[in-house]
Amino acid sequence: MAVRVQREDFDVGAETAKLIAGHPDIGAIVTFTGRVRGKDDGRQIAALTLEHYPDMTEAEMARIEAEATARWPLQASLVIHRVGELKAGDNIVLVIAASEHRQAAFEAAGFLMDYLKTRAPFWKKETTASGDSDWVEARDEDESAAKRWR
Amino acid sequence: MGENAAHRVRIRYFAWVREKVGCESEDVELPGNIETVADLVGWLKQRGPQYDEAFARPQVVRAALDKVHVKPTTALGATREIAFFPPVTGG
C-alpha cells in the first residue's frame, strides 16, 4: 500500500512488477493510467501544469487508499500522481489494485480514481496550442461518479 | 486562554484562489469573534478587493483545516493552517 507524488514519469510495468513481487496470493491486477489528452472540449491542448498542496495531497491520497483497503480485500495497491509541467500524451496518474480475485481489484481501482479526482488537492492549468492558459474546471460527472460508492 | 483570544494562523491559497489573492501564504492574527471557516471568509473579503474577488462566489471556494477537507460551517478551533482552493481537478 503506497502513495506517491512525483515530477518524474512512471513505468507501469516496472511499478506493477515491484508491487506484486513476493505475493503469489495475488490473482488479479488492475492498472489504470491517466494521460494528458491532446484535445479537451474541442480545444488543442499543448500542456498541463499540475499544482498541488504538499503534505495534504499525500495525506488525502493515503486516506483514500486506506478506505479502499477497508472496503475491498486488497493484497497490494499503489497510487502515483505526477505534478509540474506535462505535455499532451504524458502520463499523469497511475492506480494499481491487486487482489486474490478480479472483482475487488476492478472495483477498488475505480473507487481510487473516482475519489482521487474529487478529493485529492491537485489543480490543472491547461495551455492550448495557441498559447492561452486557464484553470480546468471541476466536472459534475466526476462528483456523481464518486457518489456511487457511498 | 479565553475563547475569544486572538489566534495566529497561516492561511494558504492554491490555484486560481492564489492568483486572485496575489500570494501563496500569509500569517494573520485572527480577531477572537471569528469562529468558523465562513466567518473567516467574510473577514478576509473585507481586507481588500483582491480577497473580495477571490471569494466572490464563496460556495465555490473549498477549505481545509490542518490539511483535512472541511465545510464552511466547521469551527476553526485550534487550527494552525487554513487553506483555500478551487474544487480539485486532479486525476
> Number of folded domains in chain B?
1
Whole-Å CA distances, B16 to A70, A87, B23, B87, B89: 35, 21, 11, 10, 12
Question: Which residues on chain B are in Cβ contact (under 8 Å) with A113?
Answer: 91
- Closest approach of chain A CAs to the CA of B75, in angstroms? 19
Q: Select from A126, A95, A129 the least CA-distant residue to A4.
A: A95
Residue B2 is predicted with a pLDDT of 46
- The reply to whether B57 falls in a domain is yes
Residue A68 contacts B where some CB pair is shorter than 8 Å = no
To the nearest whole Å, the CA of A102 is away from the closest chain B CA by 23
Say if residue B33's pLDDT is above 60.
Answer: yes
Residue B81 lies in a domain: yes
Residue of chain B whose alpha carbon sits nearest to that of A84: B90
CB pair distance less than 8 Å for A138 and B88: yes
Mean of the pLDDT values across residues B62-78?
Answer: 97
Q: CA nearest B25 in A: which residue?
A: A53
Is A117 near chain B, with CB under 8 Å?
A: yes
How far B81 CA lies from chain A's nearest CA (Å)? 11
Q: Tell me whether B91 touches chain A (CB under 8 Å).
A: yes
Domain assignment present for B48:
yes
User: Which cell numbers hold the place of B6?
Assistant: 486572538
Any idea what the CATH number is for the domain that residue B74 is in? 3.10.20.30
Reported confidence tier of residue B1, pLDDT bands at 50, 70, 90:
very low
CB contact under 8 A, A124 and B90: yes
pTM: 0.94
**Is pLDDT at B58 greater than 90 in this prediction?**
no
pLDDT at res. A41:
82
Q: Where are the domains of chain A?
A: 2-137
Residues from chain B contacting residue A118 (CB–CB below 8 Å): 88
Whether residue B90 lies within 8 A of chain A, CB to CB, comes out as: yes
What's the pLDDT at B4?
54
Q: What is the pLDDT of residue B76?
A: 96
Q: Is B23 exposed, middle or buried (0-12, 13-18, 19+ CB in 10 A)?
A: exposed
Residue-by-residue pLDDT tens, chain A, 150 positions = 899 999 999 999 999 999 999 999 999 999 999 999 999 888 899 999 999 999 999 999 999 999 999 999 999 999 999 999 999 999 999 999 999 999 999 999 999 999 999 999 999 999 998 999 999 999 889 989 999 998
How do residues A72-91 score in pLDDT, each as one tens digit?
999 999 999 999 999 999 99
Q: What are the helix (H) ranges across B22-88?
A: 37-45, 49-54
- Label residue B5 by pLDDT band (50, 70, 90): low
Instruction: Calculate the average pLDDT of chain A.
Output: 96
In this complex, which of A55, A81, A135 lies closest to B16 when CB atoms are compared? Answer: A135
Q: Is B32 among the domain residues? A: yes
Its domain, for residue B36, covers: 7-85
Closest-CA residue to B82 (of B16, B22, B19, B7): B7
A56 and B91 within 8 Å at the Cβ level: the answer is no
Q: Which residues contact A90 (CB under 8 A, 6 or more apart)?
A: A9, A35, A36, A48, A82
Residues B11-26 pLDDT 10s: 999 999 999 999 999 9
* Pick from B15, B64, B83: CB nearest A135: B15
Contact indicator for A65, A34 with CB cutoff of 8 Å: no
CATH entry 1.10.3720.10 includes domain A2-137: no
Asked if residue B90 belongs to a domain, the reply is no
Beta-sheet strands, E only, within A100-132: 122-128
Q: What is the pLDDT of residue B3?
A: 52
pLDDT in tens, A88-108: 999 999 999 999 999 999 999
Reply yes or no on whether the pLDDT at B34 is more than 90: yes
What secondary structure letter does DSSP report for B43? H
B1 belongs to a structural domain: no
